[in-house]
């Protein structure tokens, strides 16, 4: 079946540290992959996406590369800020399924 | 373009009551999905509507229902509320569904007492 696995949180980093949040997926065919971010008390916001193998999605300093050989879509940022503190969700979608499959979310805490 | 809007934002109900939540998608989007978010279960898919038809449904009891109108606005209804229905209910819209990007509303926070 289709599923997304994310690293357990919370992840606690100091400001300006390097961030990696691991995401692996299981899906047949060629899914689209997404990272969403949720700030406290809000809905999910699209952070970045990739629609085919070797695509790199990027936004606001965050990057993730669609790796079909390792079925991964790890989120990275070179220098995190306190304002990046939020919960990050990895997700996949496929044609004709009409639903997104979300990971369990990874909470990021960035300390000043 | 205006984003996805959900009303109301907060709701308090008692067990046994029913509740209706509303979602207005981004203009031009025809697919609307609903999710339930709780600390214990994370994000769980409820159902997806496209052109007034339910195309996909998650594993929720029949107390959870929805519908979509001709202008793509959607409502979900929960009857006979239980304490465990307390959650953040999120609506998301996309152009056609499938692998299209979903854009989320701010959610309706439901508390059942």
Taking only the tens place, the pLDDT of each residue in A42-64 is: 899 999 999 999 999 999 999 99
Measured between beta carbons, the chain B residues lying within 8 angstroms of A96 are: 98
CA distances from A54 to A21, A68, B12, B69, B86 (A): 18, 7, 46, 39, 40
Mean pLDDT of A61-85: 97
Is the minimum CB–CB distance between A36 and chain B shorter than 8 Å? Answer: yes
pLDDT at A87: 96
Cβ–Cβ of A46/B92 closer than 8 Å? no
Chain A hits for B33, Cβ within 8 Å: 98-100
Q: Where are the beta strands (DSSP E) in A7-55?
A: 11-14, 19-21, 23-26, 32-38, 44-50
Q: How confident is the model at residue A2 (pLDDT cuts 50, 70, 90)?
A: confident
With cut-offs at 50, 70 and 90, classify the pLDDT of residue A33.
Answer: very high
**Bridge partners (DSSP) listed for residue A20:** A76
pLDDT at B33 over 90: yes
Check pLDDT > 90 for residue A106.
yes
What pLDDT score was predicted for residue A28?
Answer: 82
Ranges assigned E (strand) in B18-96: 19-24, 31-38, 42-50, 53-57, 64-68, 74-78, 87-94
């Amino acid at each position: 079946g289709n599923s997304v696995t994310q690293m357990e949180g919370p992840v606690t980093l100091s400001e300006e540290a390097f961030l990696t949040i691991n995401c692996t997926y299981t899906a047949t065919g060629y899914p689209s992959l997404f990272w969403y971010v949720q700030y406290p008390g809000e809905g999910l916001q699209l952070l970045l996406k990739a629609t085919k193998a070797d695509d790199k999605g990027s936004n606001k300093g965050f990057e993730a590369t669609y790796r079909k050989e390792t079925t991964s879509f790890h989120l990275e940022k070179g220098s995190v800020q306190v304002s990046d503190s939020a919960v990050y969700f990895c997700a996949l979608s496929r044609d004709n399924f009409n639903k997104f499959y979300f990971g369990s979310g990874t909470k990021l805490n960035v300390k000043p | 373009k205006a984003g996805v809007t959900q009303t109301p934002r907060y709701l308090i109900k008692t067990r046994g009551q029913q509740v209706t939540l509303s979602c207005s998608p981004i203009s031009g989007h025809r697919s609307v999905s609903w999710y339930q978010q709780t600390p214990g279960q994370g994000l769980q898919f409820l159902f997806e509507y496209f052109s007034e038809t339910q195309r996909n449904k998650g594993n929720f009891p029949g107390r959870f229902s929805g519908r979509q109108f001709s202008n793509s606005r959607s409502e979900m209804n929960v009857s006979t509320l239980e304490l465990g229905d307390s959650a953040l209910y999120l609506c998301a819209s996309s152009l056609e569904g499938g692998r299209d990007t979903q854009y989320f509303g701010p959610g309706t926070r439901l508390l059942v007492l």
